[in-house]
Amino acid sequence: MNPYRKHVSEFARLYREGRDIPLGELSSPPALHLPPDAWKVLIFSPNPGDEAIAGGLALRLMRENRMRVTNVAVTHGSDRDRRSGRLGELRKSCDYIGFDLRRTAVDGLENVNVRNREENPGDWISSVETIVEILKEHRPEIVCFPHDTDQNSVHIGTHYLMVDALERLPRSISFYTVETEFWSPMASPNLMVEQSEADAGDLVAALSCHAGEVRLNPYHLRLPAWLMDNVRRGAALVGNRGSGTDVTFAVLYRLRRWEQGRFRNVLERGRFLAASENAGLLFPLL
């Protein structure tokens, strides 16, 4: 008898049973008391839902270091008829996970893609200036956004929107940058962040608040498998081969610092952050 058939069948059973769990009908965890001088983390999310998918590190920083996390909704999705509904779902997700929400525009920014950047510079610069103003308003210590080859056109567009905005900031402004991934893996991540079972479960719950989307494609139920696969990749790409392979869930990132108008490396080599470590250790200026 092949014991792995039962092992695989259990994964399939849990996935099927997960489809019967009510979407977004959850009581939020207790709210955290954040100090007035809390560090600020901004997550620039290309689409609603990305705040939960890419927010593993931000969630740990909020819970372990009492940082204030704000999700900046770059767009409200491509379907105009769904934008109001998606904004409502996004509010529920952020309320559940404990993130603040900042809109870029009433219905989000339009045409956040490389083609618009190349063909409509005036329209593009207007969106870039919106991001510049948000960065000046919040003065964050940490900024999260997708990497430059994240496959989805809005994710890639958001990357270049951010880079163009960074280049327009005064050179005196500096912060850590955390590049995220989902649609396509980074070729060279330098950070693997372990997610506890509790944190992973809360990220899935937040993602379930996007009911209109996951009802069609239950990617919230597939998130644990993605978190597990990140361990496989991260063990080979981050740090010494095999480091962190005894963990179950993780997210991969590229950590750098924007300083004096350019990116600067802050890690001499790849770093695995275990759940037993404080996430603030990644940021020496904390």
The alpha carbon of residue 170 and the mean position of all alpha carbons in its chain are separated, in whole angstroms, by 26
The alpha carbon of residue 25 and the mean position of all alpha carbons in its chain are separated, in whole angstroms, by 22
> What H or E segment, with its residue span, contains residue 142?
strand 142-146
Do residues 159 and 145 lie in contact, with contact meaning Cβ atoms separated by under 8 Å?
yes
The predicted model scores a pTM of: 0.95
Please name every residue paired with 131 in a beta bridge, in sequence order, or none if there are none. none
Residue-level pLDDT, tens digit, the chain, 286 residues: 899 999 999 999 999 999 999 998 888 888 899 999 999 999 999 999 999 999 999 999 999 999 999 999 999 999 999 999 999 999 999 999 999 999 999 999 999 999 999 999 999 999 999 999 999 999 999 999 999 999 999 999 999 999 999 999 999 999 999 999 999 999 999 999 999 999 999 999 999 999 999 999 999 999 999 999 999 999 989 966 556 678 999 999 999 999 999 999 999 899 999 999 999 999 986 5
> What H or E segment, with its residue span, contains residue 253?
strand 250-259
Phi, psi of 255 (to 5 degrees): -100, 125
C-alpha closest to that of 53 among 143, 130, 144: 144
Please name every residue paired with 44 in a beta bridge, in sequence order, or none if there are none. 72
Q: Which residues contact 6 (CB under 8 A, 6 or more apart)?
A: none
Task: List domains and CATH numbers for the chain.
Answer: 38-282 (3.40.50.10320)
